[in-house]
């Protein structure tokens, strides 16, 4: 489905847990927008970074985190 002017800013959050190459685990929400699956975000070659909101990393408070896709070892949908 191609984005159009009506859904380009659609908010459709999915919760994900991921491990990054430094060994830390992060849980947060990714806006998949007009896409149907969380995996579409990871396969999108046009975007190098994934933005997590309400993200928790260790004991840190919830925050926004930008993660380079190259540093992700694995990711798991949580909802």
CATH number, domain of 60, equals 2.30.30.100
**Averaged pLDDT in 10-residue chunks for the chain of 79 residues:** 58 95 95 90 90 91 93 93
What pLDDT, on the 0 to 100 scale, is given for residue 14?
95
* Separation CA 10–CA 15 (nearest Å): 16
Q: How many domains does the chain have?
A: 1
What pLDDT, on the 0 to 100 scale, is given for residue 44?
86
What pLDDT, on the 0 to 100 scale, is given for residue 1?
45
Domain containing 50 equals 13-77
**3 domain-assigned:** no
* Separation CA 12–CA 73 (nearest Å): 24
**7 domain-assigned:** no
* Separation CA 27–CA 58 (nearest Å): 9
What pLDDT, on the 0 to 100 scale, is given for residue 50?
95
């Amino acid at each position: 489905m191609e984005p159009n002017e009506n859904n380009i800013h659609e908010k459709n959050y999915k919760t994900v847990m991921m491990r990054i190459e430094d060994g830390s685990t992060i849980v947060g929400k990714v806006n998949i927008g007009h896409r149907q699956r969380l995996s579409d975000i990871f396969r999108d070659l046009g975007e190098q970074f994934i933005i997590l909101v309400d993200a928790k990393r260790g004991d840190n408070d919830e925050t926004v985190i930008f993660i380079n896709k190259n540093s992700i070892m694995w990711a798991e949908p949580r909802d």
